[in-house]
């Protein structure tokens, strides 16, 4: 009797990254793919192709995250750099199309809401490659924000939509997206935080900066409406100066933010109790956040990380695409008016803050759920 010959099955998943939040979200999925291949005994394997568009090209906003999170070097680096939204999106599409043809993947995975996300999703769909979107369904309902446009369009054309929470699922259903394409999987950023918990706890950043836990606050600013408009940036920094009279403020400064601060003559106006830093890597920054009294930010991901860590978060925006961090977590939308920032900052400073809870499925297993669904649908 002839032996049955087992045919090896190989699938190709191409994942796109372009900016800092993407690296954090992709790292757990890369590890799950490596684990899957190690368990498969060679019968079923996944060929993973990582494409870095180069949307963030500063070392501390890119390469350091690959090193800290043990992400393999990208198979392709497109190196598109900066430009207007149209220029950057067009350059990514032109370069990415060539890589699609070269690798011919079974599925293209995009994450988040940056220009790379939409550009690569649109290119893939037009070339008839299935697209999976991690972090689908987030909405702030303000189309003046380019990220909102990227989110809406990417979700509309994606084949598999991986939602981080129930609110995101409800948003997708309201947009009449086929429910068979929607999957509630949890928050993949929390996977990264949990997997790196020991590294984060062992970071020596507080010792290096001569800080003690809960005796400082953290500030981050990078969104165009806050840093490119002079009056807005001045008002925010006046409020931060005011709060710095009561607590030290640690401010890792985004390169574009620092450029604008210099242009507007604001660097020298900062209090001596505001500590300006170069952008930090993931491990040091999360240790800084974990041990802070409170955080002031216009970041999306940081709203989620503070909710998981139980740290008060003042979001310096008028809207958020992550409302579950407000309704369930430790986040408050305080806007950018000087008096509001001071009011909420004082509440956090004096422990007049809600406790918050961790949302459903933010449990460190999101990447496993995503890979299981991908393998089922490829």
Exactly one of 222, 242, 343, 377 is catalytic; name it. 222
- Spatial distance between the Cα atoms of 65 and 176, rounded to a whole number of angstroms: 37
Do residues 108 and 86 touch, judged by C-beta distance below 8 A? no
222 is known as an active-site residue: yes
- Spatial distance between the Cα atoms of 148 and 56, rounded to a whole number of angstroms: 19
- Spatial distance between the Cα atoms of 36 and 296, rounded to a whole number of angstroms: 39
Tokens 């981050």 belong to which residue? 220
List, as one string, the DSSP characters of 53-71.
--SS-SGGGTHHHHHHTTP
Task: Give the SS3 label for residue 352.
Answer: coil
- Spatial distance between the Cα atoms of 222 and 220, rounded to a whole number of angstroms: 7
Task: Give the SS3 label for residue 297.
Answer: strand
Tokens 């509630």 belong to which residue? 184
Tokens representing 156 are: 């509309």
Catalytic residues: 222
């Amino acid at each position: 009797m002839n032996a049955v010959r087992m045919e090896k099955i190989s699938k190709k998943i191409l994942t796109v990254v372009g900016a800092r939040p993407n690296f954090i979200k992709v790292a757990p999925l890369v590890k799950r793919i490596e684990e899957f291949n190690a368990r498969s005994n060679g019968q079923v394997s996944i060929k993973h192709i990582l494409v870095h568009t180069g949307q963030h090209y500063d070392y501390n906003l890119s390469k350091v995250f690959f090193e800290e999170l043990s992400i393999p070097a990208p198979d392709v680096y497109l190196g598109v750099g900066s430009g207007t939204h149209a220029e950057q999106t067009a350059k990514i599409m032109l370069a990415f199309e060539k890589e699609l043809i070269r690798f011919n993947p079974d599925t293209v995975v995009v994450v988040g809401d940056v220009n790379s996300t939409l550009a690569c999703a649109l290119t893939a769909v037009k070339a008839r490659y299935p697209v999976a979107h991690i972090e689908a369904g987030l909405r702030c309902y303000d189309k003046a924000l380019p990220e909102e446009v990227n989110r809406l369009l990417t979700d509309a054309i994606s084949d598999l939509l991986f939602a981080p929470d129930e609110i995101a699922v409800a948003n997708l259903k309201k947009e009449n997206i086929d429910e068979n394409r929607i999957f509630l999987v949890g928050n993949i950023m929390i996977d990264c935080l949990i997997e790196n918990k020991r590294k984060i706890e062992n970071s020596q950043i507080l010792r290096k900066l001569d800080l003690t836990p809960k005796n400082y606050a953290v500030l981050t600013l990078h969104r165009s409406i806050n840093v490119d408009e002079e009056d807005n940036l001045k008002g925010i920094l006046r409020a931060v100066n005011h709060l710095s009279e009561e607590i030290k403020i640690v401010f890792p400064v985004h390169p574009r933010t620092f450029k604008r601060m210099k242009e507007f003559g604001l660097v020298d106006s900062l209090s001596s109790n505001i500590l300006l830093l170069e952008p930090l890597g993931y491990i040091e920054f999360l240790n800084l956040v974990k041990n802070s009294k409170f955080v002031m930010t216009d970041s999306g991901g940081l709203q989620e990380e503070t909710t998981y860590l139980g740290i008060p978060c003042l979001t310096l925006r008028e809207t958020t695409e992550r409302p579950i961090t407000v309704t369930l977590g430790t986040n408050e939308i305080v806007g950018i008016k000087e008096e509001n920032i001071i009011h909420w900052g004082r509440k956090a400073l004096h422990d007049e803050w809600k406790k918050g809870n961790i949302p459903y499925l933010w449990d460190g297993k999101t990447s496993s759920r995503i890979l299981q669904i991908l393998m089922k649908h490829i």
